[in-house]
A and B are shown apart, each in its own frame.
Chain A
Amino acid sequence: MSFNKENMDERMKFIDIWSKYVLEHDDRVWSRQQNVIINSCLRSFSMKKEDYLKLKGDRK
């Protein structure tokens, strides 16, 4: 089996395990874990509007 296929199979296996967990648990339980990932990722995105507009240049 190629690395890519093996990798994809493993990733899909995780998807199946996690979606089963979502279905078998209260929404508040799985979403607490989802909050950890999403909120920390978005918090670490530190670019501010000013910096972005400076980078982008003039808008119409």
Chain B
Amino acid sequence: MNFISKNRIELSKTVTSLDRFAIDFTKVLKKYTNYVIISGYVSILLGRQRTTEQVHIIVPKMQLTHFRALLLELRENEFYCLDAEYDEGIYEQLLEGKTVRFAAEDTVAPFVDLKFAKTELESAAMDKPITVRIGKDELTISHLEMQIAFKEKLGSEKDLEDAEHIRNIAKGNLDAALIKKYKKMI
């Protein structure tokens, strides 16, 4: 694992089926919008020894016509929405601040939990994204200070462990003041 810069990490890991799912989904997504991956999957991507069935992704609010085009291409790439069938239904849920889930056809897990950035914190999560390069593929995660702040504030055993793992892996590459700042925002 190489921390190339503040916003670039290089991994030469063997991708898991969860990584492959995230890569395939975001390959379509990034043609239409910026995004960041947040929450538990980030620590797993960086080596945490546990699994999850969900990949949380935040995107900026999109216009319906643009969003429709994204949905069309997702369907062409054999992803479907678990929560709503029609484009307007999916879009409405996102506008209401809810998450919508996407899985690969014929499966239910793993799934992407997609959300429009609505709160100040969610918008802040989209600032300073980190590109994680795995061979020829790339994933964009939110910066690690935000991950740590959020996880330590949530405080469950699993969340504290995720935060500890990220702290250990990224030691020397973290801004402690930024972690404090985000904890105050949460």
Contact = CB atoms under 8 A, between A and B. Distances in A.
B122 to A, nearest CB: 24
A34 B109 contact: no
Contact of A49 (B14, B17, B92, B103): B103
A60 B89 contact: yes
Given A49-B105, A59-B83, A38 B51 contact: yes
B84 A59 contact: yes
Do most interface residues of chain A lie in helix, strand or loop, or is the interface mixed?
A: helix
Nearest to A12: B164
Interface string A9-24: 0011001101110110
Contact of A42 (B53, B89, B92, B105): B53
B18 A42 contact: yes
B137 interface: no
B16 A52 contact: no
A59 B110 contact: no
Contacts of B12: 26-28
The bracket for how many chain B residues form the interface is 35 or more
A33 interface: yes
Nearest to A45: B109
Contacts of B88: 60
B108 interface: yes
Given A27-B12, A31-B13, A60-B89, A19 B169 contact: yes
B17 A12 contact: no
B84 A23 contact: no
Interface stretch (B32-40, B42-50, B65-73, B143-151): B42-50
Contact of A15 (B46, B84, B168): B168
Interface of B: 1, 11-18, 44, 46-51, 53, 80-86, 88-89, 92-93, 103, 105-110, 157, 160-161, 164-165, 168-169
The 8 closest A-B pairs by CB, nearest first: A60-B89, A31-B13, A19-B168, A22-B47, A27-B13, A38-B16, A27-B12, A41-B51
